Structure 1
């Protein structure tokens, strides 16, 4: 799980480190997944490879296009960006044109809700609106079925999981640490957080430890 490809705080990974991570995955035979491939792997044990990862970015920062995207293309990597609906085209965030370009080259655009509010502080109806409105937006914008949602700030409750299923998502991802497993529930999947200061070899050891 990445956020910004830059420097400055614990959610930002510098481009040089990010490239070292992608190079390690490439050199060690890892295959990157689309959300659909991840769903089939979790539900039907259909693994394209024994070494698979779903690369994700939360929030949809401009540097995902400017800095991460060229690296992903260089190494032939797929990735998923969880975009905030109302942040499209805003300062430091991706534009519709940038997302559409990336979508033509293996980058999936999925939901991070409309307003990026902490869902566990909302009523069940408000949670459903946040999820349904963003799904409708991305379904229309990308002529797709938006299938996976990332809960803002990792905040969720039981009503969140019910709302994700009710509004038509197949999966929901959290910020709970660790590798995703069907045993966690398809709407409470864990992710591996990548922090700054991690070399390619340290990243590799971290990924291997999740097996």
Structure 2
């Protein structure tokens, strides 16, 4: 009888251990799966953000940067680049290992005369058209490229322009930053000092508050500005100003008079490559 009890006890203990081992194994598998899911989510999140550069290259000569100038990503006139062309150009930048700058990185590049990569480009889109969200944004996400949208702050409820919600979605992706294109998109060189001040100051204040940032760049509407504009921009805390003058940007032009590379509809990739290298 005692022997039977002893045998039964051992069997029960073995069964318990086996069950515990199975439970431990299951728990371990669940934990491993959770860890893999977490790592995958983190990896996807990192991939959705802009690629960052760890080491900057310093140069003796002043840096010359192609600042690409786009407007609407659609078709119809000389300021509209069709989505297919935009996609081909973004694919070209990716395939040829171009690093796409943020506004802050572009300012750092000029301040320090250094670049995060040997080949860089700053993509800008003026006026904040709705197709920047519907057409350009999916392409930027596909190739993990960064762009700067120059926002007309009074147009956020205007048809065919970005809504505030769309703009915030783009900003939160890490692939788009927003800078000033004034309040009403008026020719600044034709305005009084007081009105220029309102256009520059109110735009900056709105962008700072809306996107919780320190807006650093002013892009002049239609490229129109004068010396008063430059003085006011500097006084208000803008660090950099973009024109519609054509060519590669260099500090020889002045902090508030930087040139850009106009991208016209219908150009070939060969021409696009030439524009990236020479600005014309």
Place the TM-score, normalised by the shorter chain, in its bin.
over 0.9
Structure having the higher helix fraction is 2
Contact 2:180 2:204 in 1 (8 A): yes
Moved over 3 A (4+): none
Deviation digits for residues 103-136 of structure 1, max 9, x if unmatched? 0122001110001000000112211110000000
| CA–CA separation in structure 2 for the residues paired with 1:210 and 1:87 | 30
Q: Indicate the structure (1 or 2) with the bigger Cα radius of gyration.
A: 2
One of 122, 137, 145 as aligned partner of 1:69: 137
Contact 1:65 1:94 in 2 (8 A): yes
Return the offset for 1:205.
Answer: 2.4
Q: How many residues align?
A: 211
One of 52, 58, 61 as aligned partner of 2:126: 58
- Where 1:7 maps in the other structure, the secondary structure is coil
Using the size of structure 2 for normalisation, the TM-score is: 0.74
Match of 1:194 in 2: 263
1:104 equivalent to 2:172? Answer yes
1:46 equivalent to 2:120? Answer no
* Counterpart mapping for 1:123-142 below 5 A: 123-142=192-211
Q: Give the superposed CA RMSD.
A: 1.1
Give structure 1 stretches of 5+ with no counterpart. Answer: none
Deviates more, 1:50-59 or 1:201-210: 201-210
| CA–CA separation in structure 2 for the residues paired with 1:210 and 1:108 | 23
One of 69, 78, 83 as aligned partner of 1:15: 83
Deviates more, 1:43-52 or 1:74-83: 43-52
